[in-house]
Structure 1
């Protein structure tokens, strides 16, 4: 069960959220709307006590986030667990939401212009690699019909595919990846867990987030090694395939 406590720091409302964020967490939308209506405030979501979040909960956060921006205010997120970071990466939202490792850094960001170097350092710690590589995929139930898209980013838990051929939530896919510098095709299975929100992700729409499922240890190691190598030694703008 989710709980929310609200406190303030000057002109910032801090939402201390605890428990699980899921389909029953619409209170997040209600609380943010009340704050925007009566307090004229920027909002910081503190996830230090959040135990878990699913994709229904992620949709609720997107609605709250859009409400804040539409009212002309700012939103930040802090103390996010690696499990939640994984969901954000697959949904291609970690480049939309402004995420900070702790409350102090998030509060500072409201008051000071954070440099591009600092932003890059914060994002790199989450091990999501921005790429532009081709992926071939098909529905698990119809493997004879294949589609092609561009992987915009990849992590150890999944990837975001930019393509006009998208599928609804929970659709099961077979995917074939050809990673630059890696010999052979990598076959993986995945499930659609996110559809691009055109309003806040215009650069990634149409597209879908796919979470890896039943991935072999060998293939996961290949993907993780590829990410680590290229985050450490190359600019992501170099990672293209035709």
Structure 2
């Protein structure tokens, strides 16, 4: 009796064919990269031959970026200064003078979040003509060093959208020239009272001086006019608007101000 060899199915034949291709494409020993690629090709051909779906290459899993670590304490401040920052203050405008006698400074609004402090943008600022002092007196042309509340605002222009009490009045006007001959017009378009020798909860125009008139007063954060101030801190008009809109009374905002060396005490 004559035995007949069973015929290969079409799919099996294709598998054999694919394996034949594998043998034909055999790369020299040591070429692991080529072998790996050829093996994948053969595997996909075999799967296709028997009707199985070819597996797509795995997509690399995106690695989540670690969240930046926020500082647990305000940078640049020493223990004496930090002790003056109220425990419930969650917004701090940090104004740092270049040195004790400089009228130029930098301002950063820090926000307390997630157990740390998140900084805002760095803004150029001006301060008193003769720099900074630990004990300010009327007319000394120094800005006072310390930590002061920020509770009241106002200006010649309408409220830009602050949540603080805002006193809108044409009385916020100034004329003449600054120490470097720059015009002062518009400097009080927006003002933010610094609670140095003043009664919080009143208009920045209020003249009450708890420490006495000789200790000065009316020290504000106001629109920069391009030069030193008598004792105030000044920011550009766009930055004044940003600051007024950002401050939240519930976050008990304060300003920490002084030259860099003094603030590290």
TM-score range (shorter-chain normalised) is under 0.3
Give the structure-1-normalised TM-score. Answer: 0.21
Give the structure-2-normalised TM-score. Answer: 0.20
| Greater RCO (Cα-Cα under 8 Å, separation 6 or more) | 2
Where is the helix percentage greater, Structure 1 or Structure 2? 1
